[in-house]
């Protein structure tokens, strides 16, 4: 009996095969019969955004989201201006790639000032929204696991991401629910329900026991202890029926052939996502 959703919903988040270039990842998707991809900007930049769009669409793929904008907190106005410029470019790249969703990884605090970081994140999103609206791009705030606060994001709960998103129009700013980042949260199901139509993306991976690397130690679905079926059911009850991105950031996997990893992604998705 198959537990997971249909492969047509699988989007390969490119970091899962970071060893591959964007053209290589596109080819790997084609060989595996996948139809959706979620590129990262550093891979897009290697070929240029216009060529990236040609390659993706020429292969019959569509883009579920672009990863990523964000990293709003900065120690000074020059840093904030640089972040703003980079985020506007990210919006433009998302539009050029034909996706309506830009993922925001909001950035860590400067020093010890977590509250200040959260205020800078709100202000940064406020400045970005008009540009995103002009380009038909939605901003999707992704809360990360609290263990990543100092490297990646001061936004570490879905509740906080919802609080931020609700300051804006529901079709402009929403959230990404990444099971790996939020599975521990006692308020998870309530916050998923609250997010509702603001769920702009759903990501999966698994939590290995033990987890030996905080940033690059994720497991394939079914290898760990996250109750992925329960979380997917909650996300679907909230109304989300879009692509499910497989984002398995695992250093060991990057040392192996990309096609092997993609085959494992497909099998794990069908069995356990």
Among 51, 81, 187, 237, binds its own copies (CB under 8 A): 187
Q: How far is the CB of 214 from its own copies (least distance, A)?
A: 7
Q: How far is the CB of 156 from its own copies (least distance, A)?
A: 5
Q: Does 142 bind its own copies (CB under 8 A)?
A: no
Q: Does 150 bind its own copies (CB under 8 A)?
A: yes
Quick one: 134 or 151, whose CB is closer to its own copies?
A: 151
Interface with its own copies (CB under 8 A), residue total: 30
Would you give the binding string for its own copies spanning residues 116-135, x where CB under 8 A is met? --x-----------------
Q: State how far the Cα of 253 lies from the Cα of 230, in Å rounded to an integer.
A: 26
Q: State how far the Cα of 112 lies from the Cα of 216, in Å rounded to an integer.
A: 24
Q: Does 159 bind its own copies (CB under 8 A)?
A: yes
Among 39, 73, 109, 201, binds its own copies (CB under 8 A): 109
Q: How far is the CB of 209 from its own copies (least distance, A)?
A: 5
| CA angle in degrees (0–180, nearest 5) for 51-200-83 | 60
Nearest of 229, 257, 189 to residue 1 by alpha carbon: 229
Q: Does 207 bind its own copies (CB under 8 A)?
A: yes
Structure tokens that stand for 93 in this block: 């790249």
Q: Does 75 bind its own copies (CB under 8 A)?
A: no
Quick one: 117 or 253, whose CB is closer to its own copies?
A: 117
Provide CB contacts within 8 A for 45, sequence distance 6+: none
Q: Does 225 bind its own copies (CB under 8 A)?
A: yes
Q: Does 111 bind its own copies (CB under 8 A)?
A: yes
Question: Which positions touch its own copies (CB under 8 A)?
Answer: 109, 111-114, 118, 145-147, 149-151, 156-157, 159-160, 163, 183-187, 207, 209-211, 214, 225-227
């Amino acid at each position: 009996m198959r537990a997971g959703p249909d492969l047509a919903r699988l989007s390969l988040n490119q970091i899962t095969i970071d060893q591959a270039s964007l053209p290589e990842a596109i080819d790997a998707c084609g060989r595996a019969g996948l139809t959706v991809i979620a590129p990262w900007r550093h891979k897009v930049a290697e070929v240029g955004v216009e060529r990236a769009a040609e390659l993706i669409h020429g292969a019959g793929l569509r883009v579920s989201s672009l990863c990523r904008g964000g990293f709003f907190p900065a120690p000074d106005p020059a840093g904030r201006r640089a972040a703003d410029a980079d985020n506007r470019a990210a919006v433009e790249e998302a539009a050029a790639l034909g996706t309506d969703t830009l993922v925001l990884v909001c950035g860590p605090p400067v020093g010890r000032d977590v509250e200040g970081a959260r205020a800078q994140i709100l202000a940064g999103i406020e400045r970005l929204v008009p540009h995103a609206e002009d380009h038909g791009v939605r901003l999707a705030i992704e809360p990360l696991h609290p263990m990543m606060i100092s490297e990646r994001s001061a936004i570490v709960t879905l509740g906080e991401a919802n609080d931020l998103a609700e300051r804006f129009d529901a079709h402009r700013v929403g959230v990404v629910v990444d099971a790996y980042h939020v599975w521990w949260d006692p308020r998870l199901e309530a916050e998923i329900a609250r997010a509702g139509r603001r769920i702009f993306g759903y990501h999966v991976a698994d939590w290995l026991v033990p987890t030996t690397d905080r940033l690059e130690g994720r497991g394939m679905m079914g290898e760990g202890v996250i109750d992925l079926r329960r979380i997917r059911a909650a996300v679907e009850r909230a109304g989300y029926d879009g692509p499910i991105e497989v984002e398995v950031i695992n250093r060991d996997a990057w040392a192996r052939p990309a096609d092997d990893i993609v085959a494992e992604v497909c099998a794990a998705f069908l069995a356990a996502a």
